[in-house]
Amino acid sequence: MDLKETPAERAFREEARGWLAENVPRDPLPSGDTREGFTLHLEWERRLYDARWAVVSWPEPYGGRGASVWEWLAFEEEYYRAGAPQRVTQNGIFLLAPTLFAFGTQEQQDRLLPRMAAAEDLWCQGWSEPGAGSDLAALTSRAERDERAGGWRLTGQKTWTTRGAFCTHLFGLFRSDPESVRHRGLTYFLVPLDADGVTVRGFARLDGDEGFAEVYLDDVFVPDDAVLGGVGEGWKVAMATTGSERGLTLRSPGRYTAAADRLLELARAHTERMTGELRDRVVQAWMDAEAYRLFTLQQVTNTAAGTARTGESSLNKLFWSELDVRLHETALELLGPDAELDGPWSRGFLFSLAGPIYAGTNEVQRGIVAERVLGLPRGGRG
Amino acid sequence: MDLKETPAERAFREEARGWLAENVPRDPLPSGDTREGFTLHLEWERRLYDARWAVVSWPEPYGGRGASVWEWLAFEEEYYRAGAPQRVTQNGIFLLAPTLFAFGTQEQQDRLLPRMAAAEDLWCQGWSEPGAGSDLAALTSRAERDERAGGWRLTGQKTWTTRGAFCTHLFGLFRSDPESVRHRGLTYFLVPLDADGVTVRGFARLDGDEGFAEVYLDDVFVPDDAVLGGVGEGWKVAMATTGSERGLTLRSPGRYTAAADRLLELARAHTERMTGELRDRVVQAWMDAEAYRLFTLQQVTNTAAGTARTGESSLNKLFWSELDVRLHETALELLGPDAELDGPWSRGFLFSLAGPIYAGTNEVQRGIVAERVLGLPRGGRG
Amino acid sequence: MHFALSGAALELRGGLRDLLAGACPPSTVRAAWPGGDDGAVQSLWRALGDFGLPAVLVPETDGGLGLDDVVTVAALEEAGRAGVPGPLVETSAVAAPLLAAAGALPKGVLDGAVRIAVQRREVVPYAQRADAFLQLDESGARLLARADADVTAVDTVDGARAAGRVAGVGAPVDVDPSQVRKAIHRGALGTAAFLVGLSHRMLAMTVEYVKSRTQFGVPVGSFQAVQHPLADALVGVEFASPAVLRAAQSMVDDEPDTALHVALAKTLASDAAERTARTCIQAHGAMGYTVEYDLHLFAKRAWALAADWGSASEHRADVARTLLEAR
Amino acid sequence: MHFALSGAALELRGGLRDLLAGACPPSTVRAAWPGGDDGAVQSLWRALGDFGLPAVLVPETDGGLGLDDVVTVAALEEAGRAGVPGPLVETSAVAAPLLAAAGALPKGVLDGAVRIAVQRREVVPYAQRADAFLQLDESGARLLARADADVTAVDTVDGARAAGRVAGVGAPVDVDPSQVRKAIHRGALGTAAFLVGLSHRMLAMTVEYVKSRTQFGVPVGSFQAVQHPLADALVGVEFASPAVLRAAQSMVDDEPDTALHVALAKTLASDAAERTARTCIQAHGAMGYTVEYDLHLFAKRAWALAADWGSASEHRADVARTLLEAR
């Protein structure tokens, strides 16, 4: 055990804190999941990039600082503590990038990563389909080989694509072997959304923002270099990404410790309501955020030491998603009748309800924990 | 809606209250699930019987008062409010008796009910077997026809038989058709425990009392009049009993309203601990007991009017069993470090943990509610 | 002793259910959201006026139906099932009987032409489209005409709540404190009944969805992970509704414990509705997370009403004072 | 930054696990119940003495191992997994280091021959078989020999707690208040670690049972209704254990927030253990409801320890004062 920061880590944190204090917009930006908000968030992303804070853990040639995971955690802590804007580039930098680093060719990495870091290419995720949500392996979008043109023709429909209406590229799975079923015969493709045959329709989330999109592909041609990680390898490659989506990179602890601190402020401002159970719920939410931070430090240590345990990312996802809902429910309780008014806490609550659903529903996660961690016999997937 | 008692109901309640005030032992009896406690409870049962309070809802010839269900509810309310002893005869008078009234021959009713009311015959339930708990239809104890002797020979093992070590008779299901599977080919038998070939072994429950027994039957002969409700009819007949076991007769609301009142007293005596969530939990436990009372009044009205709804008894069982646990957990929280000391609340807590397990586990009940009340497609039984 | 709705009440409830099945589809609920067509909402209210809902608690001598609180909660539960937009509980259960008793009932209320919102603090639910405001506090009541009110719209999570900050002081209404207390009880109790109806609607929608949605080759509704939380949600709703009936009967019998019974009803109904909303959204998966699907119309109303007229924890705190200190 | 046990600590924990697998079967836990053979418990304690558990926090200069709180919680988690009977947390983590610091360490403590119970109120857990009593309150500490104590047995839900009412005033121990505070923190933290171990044991037993127990033709462990609550219980335990490690490191580094970190650890461990006990008993069905099966030995200890050294809600109340008022 050693919970002290090295002088280097400390310096890194100080630098980040200083820059954020200078640069974080005084007034919060409108939601990045609306068209005008998205544009403003892009300006912010480019400011981050120019100061090399956009992708701190990436190698310098791609716009990063080669930061260690500890430095990354420190940056994230400072980022959320400073109340900095949401990362509208997260599907690219947190979900696709790890997969590119693991499975991409040098050419793909050199071509795609710098533009992603600079928020020039904006990536959305094409996993779910109308008939394939929790049951991802049921997807039916297909890729047909076009030998003559030296590439593939993609046809099908993707849905629940976050910010799909505002992005420039999509990564997703397509069935490249028509004979295949379930996990076999899938290929991971990288698709520009301005290609012929692509139609994108945005639609609104629970909070009313146009945060989702349906992406229709009708005989869309992509060249061979749009394949990531080998034809028919799609499932293996995708699991790496969903692994990171379900793991810690998407949900850094700073997010919850910062939210818990805001909850404490709210509680201090509403002492008249702090009777009965509310007092305990506020404290418990703060404790749970701290517990999440500690679990994550342990998980990062294990990952770094190559001693990561099976199912750790499922335990992680179950905890943060339930914590996020409880934390916001508690805040709304503190707001009393004002809870129904549109505001950061009510929006945060609606957003939190997606946590137990997306990135592998919590029902699926509990099944994974039960069977892969506890070793129980295989049952329903629900 | 009419929530007022009739003068007759009022008078009945007053008479019961008066008699209980006179007769309920000043100091609580030792647990009726221990051998010496059981004996003391039998004396109490006989005192109840002599005053015709043992089976108020039965016809007078069998020792009852022909009381209406409303009068029965009033009696139960007064009984628990007075802190009167547990009913060690309950498996007979609340579980077997309704089945005898519904399926028994006149001869069986005349022979068995008076002795049951007088606590001369003491009945225990022989449902569960080592391999058949939630899955009752999996039972394997068998009944072989003995034409010559004009009866049946019973062989098998019953377990989790409450107070089996202290009772004189057992009612239970046996497979009378060796070819049959699951629900078919079962017969409901009434078995004297002093018959040749019966061995009873008592064992201890979570609270340490010898409240359970295993009953071994080795070629035990019973005559034809030991069959209740027809050969091969066992499942239909048994479901009527488990219906009442899972329904309201076993768990009258007075039990919880009285427990909730005791919880309020405990809370008033421990105001120093009534901070934070505890205050809310105490109030919620009281509210839930009241909600249970009201639901039961509605259920009784529906039953009386012949408008009972499917699954009502499952909703009822889910609620009282969870309420009973929460109520006792709250009491233990109020007791703080003294909660671990042996006493009425800690014993009550251990006892409450059986609620979600016996009489059809709550997992089974949720499945029944989901499929028979909500109309969801059949799934796992768990 | 008879703990059930009378035949007459059941008949009225059935009639209202049929009416609303046609007159209040989700499109009408959406019409109450900002930018929606108020005409659709107004004609729904007219239909409710013709049915007699705003008149249910008004004496026949004042042109009302002269029915009681038990019938009223039965009707408001149906209104909740349909998610009727606008201040229906406030108009039918709170304002109409109070104003009639004071001989101050404005024209148009009984036939559904006038929607009366209730102001108990600066922010008033439904203010954007209300025609009048009943200003209630423990000391008394005032009636403020829309024309004399200064209303600033406020965005609400449930657009149909169309709240606003309301400034202006209405004309005094001649009622005594006991009538005001009764009106406040009716607001809480009517809202509890509405919440029970909303909960049943959410459960019904969810059951339909999980029966048809398949994953891993079977309907998701066959998974225990979906079935059991829905069963638990139903338990909560089924145990709240007798408490609502009981409180209504206490109002009728003017029982001393009425306040306690109303608090019990609102607490159980609020907790049951919040749990049901959460469970139903989860059971829908991503489908529960879009506003194109109708579930959110009912879930957001449930959240708003659970916190209105006293939240569960506020009522528990009141009850705690009664049970733990008073005695 | 490195958030994991050192190789040495892992080795020690592994060694202890092997030792206890042989030296502390459930029969030894049962032997600590009233009427049980204390000889079996005493030889277990001797073995723990030979292993060095009571000496873990005692400086080498005093004949101890001179290890730290991180190693100690790792060891006590193992002891919890085995359900070691007797005042092990009290003797190893609370009494031994405190008495050694005061130069008042009785003979036999380090080799497991002397079991020291801690008295903070009249009723003292493990009093019936303790050899001495450390009387602790904020003001200071006293050591009461068994011979000078008047002990009246009290029945406990967990027979192995073998509590008693203890009368008598011990000899003053020369320590300052900060050492007493540290000792109390170690009692709460060591108990939190023990609870994590108990929880893992209950889960392991339950997994074995539901894998083998079949109903409706399949192992009950394949039902989501059994799987998901067990998964949630595991989540609670897995998120409590880093908090225990963190608090131990705070003790080592003598951080200003140590009290907060200890409260966090005890709160999470207590809630996780209570939830795990409830879930495991339910998953066992009737089998979880008899004392012939071993599960109850661990569940009852979990309930007792969750309420000892400050319950979850007591610690939450303390933390509330720190977080909501102090700042």
Out of A184, A206, A233, a domain closes at: A233
ipTM of the prediction: 0.95
Res B164 pLDDT > 70: yes
| Total Cβ atoms within 10 A of residue C60 | 10
3-state secondary structure of A211: coil
What local confidence, expressed as pLDDT, does residue B245 receive? 43
Domain membership of residue A69 (yes or no) is yes
Domain membership of residue B215 (yes or no) is yes
Using CA atoms, how far apart are residues D266 and B33, in angstroms rounded to an integer? 36
Using CA atoms, how far apart are residues C94 and A358, in angstroms rounded to an integer? 42
A229/A251 same-domain check: no
Mutate to test the interface with C, among A210, A340, A345, A351 (most CBs of C within 10 A): A340
Closest partner residue to A276 (CB to CB) among C163, C288, C313 is: C313
Res A248 pLDDT > 50: no
- Shortest distance between the Cα of A115 and any Cα of chain D, in A, equals 32
| Spatial contact of B376 and C206, defined as CB atoms under 8 Å apart | no
Torsion angles phi and psi, residue A205, rounded to 5: -85, 180
Lowest mean pLDDT among A106-120, A202-216, B38-52, C180-194: A202-216
Label residues A62-82 b or e (16+ Cβ within 10 Å = b): bbbbebbbbbbbbbbbbbbeb
Cβ of D70 under 8 Å from any chain A Cβ? yes
Cβ of D153 under 8 Å from any chain B Cβ? no
CA Rg, chain D, in Å? 19
The label of the residue with tokens 């203890």 reads D166
- Shortest distance between the Cα of C64 and any Cα of chain B, in A, equals 22
CB contact under 8 A, A279 and B280: no
- Shortest distance between the Cα of D92 and any Cα of chain B, in A, equals 22
What local confidence, expressed as pLDDT, does residue B249 receive? 52
Mutate to test the interface with D, among A2, A294, A303 (most CBs of D within 10 A): A294
Domain membership of residue D189 (yes or no) is yes
- Cα angle: A297, vertex A301, A302; to 5 degrees: 120
B136/B31 same-domain check: no
Closest partner residue to A134 (CB to CB) among C161, C215, C308 is: C215
The average confidence (pLDDT) of chain B is: 92
Res B241 pLDDT > 80: no
Residues 168-187 of B with CB under 8 A from D: none
D225 vs C contacts (CB less than 8 Å): 224, 228
The β-bridge partners of A2 are D2
Residues 6+ apart with CB under 8 A from A211: A33, A162, A163, A204, A205
What local confidence, expressed as pLDDT, does residue B246 receive? 40
Q: How confident is the model at residue A243 (pLDDT cuts 50, 70, 90)?
A: low
| Spatial contact of B95 and B223, defined as CB atoms under 8 Å apart | no
DSSP, residue by residue, A66-132: ---HHHHHHHHHHHHHTTPPP-TTHIIIIIIHHHHHHH--HHHHHHHHHHHHTTSS-EEEE--BTTB
Q: What percent of chain B has pLDDT over 90?
A: 80
Q: How confident is the model at residue B252 (pLDDT cuts 50, 70, 90)?
A: confident
The β-bridge partners of C118 are C134
Domain membership of residue C298 (yes or no) is yes
Mean pLDDT of the B334-355 span: 95
Res C64 pLDDT > 70: yes
Query: Structural domain of residue A53, as residue ranges?
Result: 7-88
CA distances from C169 to A69, C127, C148, C172, C178 (A): 61, 15, 8, 9, 22
Q: How many domains does chain D have?
A: 1
Domain membership of residue B354 (yes or no) is yes
Domain membership of residue C108 (yes or no) is no
The average confidence (pLDDT) of chain A is: 92
The label of the residue with tokens 């003979």 reads D107
- The helix (H) or strand (E) run that includes residue B139 is none
Lowest mean pLDDT among A5-14, A238-247, C64-73, C123-132: A238-247
Out of A233, A260, A279, a domain closes at: A233
Domain membership of residue C78 (yes or no) is no
The β-bridge partners of D132 are D116, D145
CA distances from D151 to A46, D61, D164 (A): 74, 34, 6
Domain membership of residue B106 (yes or no) is no
B229 dihedral zone (left: phi>0; alpha: psi -120 to 50; beta)? left
Domain membership of residue D249 (yes or no) is yes
Using CA atoms, how far apart are residues B301 and B297, in angstroms rounded to an integer? 6
Torsion angles phi and psi, residue D144, rounded to 5: -110, 120
Provide the number of CB pairs (under 8 Å) joining chain B to chain C.
149
Lowest mean pLDDT among B232-236, B271-275, C20-24, D48-52: B271-275
- Read off the CATH number of the domain in which B148 is found: 2.40.110.10
Query: Structural domain of residue D271, as residue ranges?
Result: 179-326
Per-residue tokens: D72 = 């100690």
| Spatial contact of D212 and D251, defined as CB atoms under 8 Å apart | no
- Read off the CATH number of the domain in which D306 is found: 1.20.140.10
A180/A292 same-domain check: no
Name the residue in chain D with its Cα closest to that of B360. Answer: D285
Among the listed residues B10, B129, B2, B137, the one whose alpha carbon sits nearest the alpha carbon of residue B68: B10
**Low-confidence stretches of chain D (pLDDT beneath 50):** 327
CB contact under 8 A, D308 and B340: yes
Name the residue in chain C with its Cα closest to that of A366. Answer: C225
Out of B44, B67, B88, a domain closes at: B88
D70 vs A contacts (CB less than 8 Å): 1
- Shortest distance between the Cα of D3 and any Cα of chain A, in A, equals 5
Using CA atoms, how far apart are residues B91 and B45, in angstroms rounded to an integer? 13
Using CA atoms, how far apart are residues A94 and A247, in angstroms rounded to an integer? 10
Q: Give residue-wise pLDDT tens across range C246-286.
A: 999 999 999 999 999 999 999 999 999 999 999 999 999 98
B275/B339 same-domain check: yes
Q: How confident is the model at residue A260 (pLDDT cuts 50, 70, 90)?
A: very high
| Spatial contact of D76 and D241, defined as CB atoms under 8 Å apart | no
| Spatial contact of D59 and D243, defined as CB atoms under 8 Å apart | no
Interface residues on B facing A, Cβ-Cβ cutoff 8 A: 275-277, 279-281, 379-380
What local confidence, expressed as pLDDT, does residue B360 receive? 86
Interface residues on A facing B, Cβ-Cβ cutoff 8 A: 275-277, 279-281, 379-380
The β-bridge partners of B213 are B202
What local confidence, expressed as pLDDT, does residue B248 receive? 44
Q: Are strands A186-192 and D164-167 parallel, antiparallel or unpaired?
A: unpaired
Per-residue tokens: B322 = 């969870």
- Read off the CATH number of the domain in which A358 is found: 1.20.140.10
What local confidence, expressed as pLDDT, does residue A242 receive? 59
Catalytic (active site) residue A245: yes
| Spatial contact of D141 and D135, defined as CB atoms under 8 Å apart | yes
Domain membership of residue C240 (yes or no) is yes
Q: How many domains does chain B have?
A: 3
- Cα angle: D106, vertex D111, D116; to 5 degrees: 50
Domain membership of residue A83 (yes or no) is yes
Using CA atoms, how far apart are residues A346 and A328, in angstroms rounded to an integer? 8
Cβ of C165 under 8 Å from any chain A Cβ? no
What local confidence, expressed as pLDDT, does residue A247 receive? 42
Q: Give residue-wise pLDDT tens across range B75-84.
A: 999 999 999 9
Using CA atoms, how far apart are residues B200 and D10, in angstroms rounded to an integer? 50
- Shortest distance between the Cα of D163 and any Cα of chain A, in A, equals 31
Q: Which of A245, A277, A322, A371 is catalytic?
A: A245
A136/A223 same-domain check: yes
Domain membership of residue D247 (yes or no) is yes
Cβ of B345 under 8 Å from any chain D Cβ? no
| Total Cβ atoms within 10 A of residue C80 | 29
